Chain A
């Protein structure tokens, strides 16, 4: 699902100045690793960076039908002192009915102060269930670590930023990937790999299958450049204009909810409060008006460009560069000139 090497290269931004927030070595953190097809993914490496800010030790958990290869990769990351593996078919597809009891058993055996993972479909599905089983209130989608018990997270589609403090002894945290640089592998130190305490698995749900959108373009969640189309694209065929520009720029393609609802592109391309949150170096919004829900997914981008023929579209209020022009003229022209 995610090209690990590409993520590192793209996301290695300087966050050095924020590295010294940790308040002590009292923390012991369990990082739940998301992986697919033998690759670490799903904001796990960003969550690892967030976990590093807590101070203390970090143990990574890799669960799957054959977790060893991924466990070896994880062991090479700086800050990971131990890797636990849980092996079983029940862990092959991220079903929370098996993952939650596993986290509970490991927590009971090892008594971590923090459990951390990415705020992805995988993380969001599992963590609240596990937290409830331990009577803990989880903290979702953090964008900052202030101290061991105090975190920053956006609320109201990013229109307000809350600083929250957990009163629970155990902190379950899901991390917004784009808010933390991805951790980098450091071959010098390799963590030990051992088997996790066993837990009961569940057959309450059966995984029947998946349909994943295949694309040669970079992954939307971690791309350094994103070009998104909205209702103004008029139909799915016209997205070819964006694909052509994206290929020229090495960019990922996204979409507004309007474009997804109209059936122009697949749901998995949606950027916004209820879709993907992106924060690339360059975000180009084409034919997108800029509703609150869309801005929630992209307003932390470094440079925002808007191309829209409506000069009053709200997107121009956040765009660093706005071009008031018909996209059907401007986009091909841009593709040609780059």
Chain B
């Protein structure tokens, strides 16, 4: 175990959560020429790591992103939120980069480091592919414990106590470091980066690598054959009163 504690936070650049995505005319992908930002769950991951650092100044927080050159904007955001340094694994086209490849890249990067991380904090899912896989795969490859969908994290020494969001409510698990956490929405409220911190972030170190440097084959295992618009709903019909509504539900929709 290394001292001080070292936390790696993988972050992903995705289409902004507020954008209504559209399928491209060729039906091969969605239109990506829209506003992008950091995956919301990854903001929560960075925030959690930075809060740990605020409790123990010796903690180092490393933001990592795999993607095109534009991923560096996302890394700068992470640095402005309080990460100490950044690692960019650059790929030419990140539309085919999949969770298994990202998990392998993260594992391979970890293996190259003399001072190993003690903790990975990832978002529970990216809001583009909605896969919810990378953290679990990384934990498997590293053979570390995983505490996914975390809504509360307590770190005491080398022991992690995590409250997890499960289907009927919550459960609490405990693991020893090194470990992998994935964040749920309820974990924290991410901060906004202030202008001075954005300026400072420009001077923080950012290391660039490629999948080839790490010896990882990132070719997709899953091919996307087509992407389509979901079936449209014909909504928009208004009723005048509760009586009218009950009548329609009983006699027209027949669901009451």
Contact = CB atoms under 8 A, between A and B. Distances in A.
A102 interface: no
A206 interface: yes
Given A318-B235, A337-B242, A211 B170 contact: yes
A109 interface: no
A313 B129 CA distance: 27
A167 B151 contact: no
A333 B246 CA distance: 11
Interface in B181-237: 184-186, 220-230, 233-237
A202 B140 CA distance: 12
Given A129-B137, A204-B176, A205-B145, A42 B167 contact: yes
Interface in B92-128: 98-100, 103, 124-125, 127-128
A268 B168 CA distance: 6
B21 interface: yes
A236 to B, nearest CB: 16
A239 interface: no
B238 interface: yes
Given A100-B140, A129-B146, A167-B222, A323 B174 contact: no
A156 B134 CA distance: 17
Interface string B130-141: 111111111111
Contacts of A257: 185
A210 B173 CA distance: 9
A293 B256 contact: no
Given A209-B172, A211-B169, A303-B249, A167 B149 contact: no
B173 A206 contact: yes
B167 A128 contact: no
Interface residues of B, number: 81
Contacts of A302: 253, 255
Contacts of A192: none
29 contacts: A96-B148, A126-B136, A128-B99, A128-B133, A129-B140, A129-B146, A132-B136, A132-B137, A136-B221, A137-B220, A137-B222, A141-B132, A156-B15, A156-B127, A156-B128, A157-B127, A160-B228, A164-B223, A167-B222, A205-B173, A206-B174, A208-B172, A209-B172, A267-B170, A268-B167, A293-B17, A317-B235, A318-B235, A321-B248
Interface of B: 15, 17-18, 20-21, 23, 30, 98-100, 103, 124-125, 127-141, 144-149, 151, 161, 164-176, 184-186, 220-230, 233-239, 241-246, 248-249, 253, 255-256
Interface of A: 1, 42, 93, 95-97, 100, 120-122, 124-133, 135-141, 150, 154-168, 202, 204-213, 221, 225, 249, 257, 260-261, 266-268, 273-274, 276, 281-282, 292-293, 299, 302-305, 311, 316-325, 330, 333-334, 337-338
